[in-house]
Structure 1
Amino acid sequence: MRIMGLDYGSKTVGVAISDPLGITAQGIETICRKDENKLRRTCARIEELISEYEVGQIVLGLPKHMNNDIGDRARRSMEFGEMLRRRTGLEVVMWDERLTTVEAERTLIENKVRREDRKKYIDKIAAVFILQGYLDYKAGVQIQDHF
């Protein structure tokens, strides 16, 4: 069973998929929309990917504040997660995504991706970090601090 990772934003959704064994996450695409509330095509594309990759579970980033509070963005993500659960019938796990976009940006800079090109990749890379964090947690991988 593959797991799908999603980084839900106001105009984009970054998508990542696990390998069949649930060990690694790979970025698939960034789904774009013109308006935050126009989700029909976004959901349809996610459903296509679920079918194509035989996804059995969804991990959706939960953008909490640094003090662990739930703000407007997190509430919108939870609503989106509930909509996905109803539409797909799959379990949707909300996963703390704090600093994944910062980490994605850093990765793109380190790999010398031009500033104007980073926007194309950042949400997909953030989805990879969200999903990989969940996969590592499920596998019991110990994440060590690097000081």
Structure 2
Amino acid sequence: MTKSQKNKLFLAFDYSGKRVGVAMGDASIGIAHPIKAISYKTSKELMAEIERIVSEWKPSALVVGMPRKESGEPHSLEKRVNRFCKTLESRFKLMVHTIDESYTSVEADQFLSENKVGWEKRKKMIDMVAAQLILEDFFIASSGDTESRA
């Protein structure tokens, strides 16, 4: 983690076609918490809710999970996620970091299932817990620590 990232609040996003999971975390302690899953129909609706969240939390930077395929081929969501990142950057004038989000939704579902969260509640929570995992991975990668959170 660079000196400039210490004592800074970050927001992370797990972007999908129907929902965007949001988490916040403090880089100085490397801990993230899920805060919301935004269900949306239009990008205008999505950006209005993100604007509200950014205004409330006042992050110093944003982190977005970038979908990757194991084969190295572009993921079907990659272009949309890149566009989402550019929109965030231009709208909020904040640095937007990306990090591989491979398997975060699977891990989030497994974690919630192991903690006896029922399916109806779990499907509403998966995206925000995935955002939490994305942010924790970012903190670990930024710290130079070679251990993953797993």
How does the TM-score come out when normalised to structure 2? 0.88
Aligned to 1:60: 64
Aligned to 1:82: 86
Identity %: 34
Matches within 5 A, 1:1-147: 1-19=8-26, 21=28, 23-34=30-41, 38-143=42-147
Letter of the 1:143 partner, please give it.
E
Moved over 4 A (4+): none
Cα displacement (A) at 1:138: 1.1
Query: How many residue pairs are counted as aligned between the two chains?
Result: 143
Which runs of no fewer than 5 residues in structure 2 stay unpaired?
1-7
Question: Could you tell me whether the CA contact under 8 Å between 1:2 and 1:22 is conserved in 2?
Answer: no
Letter of the 1:81 partner, please give it.
C
Hey, what's the Cα distance between the residues in 2 that align with 1:127 and 1:116? 19
Cα displacement (A) at 1:69: 2.2
Hey, what's the Cα distance between the residues in 2 that align with 1:145 and 1:25? 12
Letter of the 2:48 partner, please give it.
A
Question: Could you tell me whether the CA contact under 8 Å between 1:5 and 1:17 is conserved in 2?
Answer: yes
Cα displacement (A) at 1:144: 5.8
Cα displacement (A) at 1:2: 0.7
| Deviation digits for residues 82-103 of structure 1 (CA, Å, limit 9, x no counterpart) | 1111111111111100000110
**CA RMSD for the aligned pairs?**
1.7
How does the TM-score come out when normalised to structure 1? 0.90
Which has the larger displacement, 14-23 or 95-104?
14-23
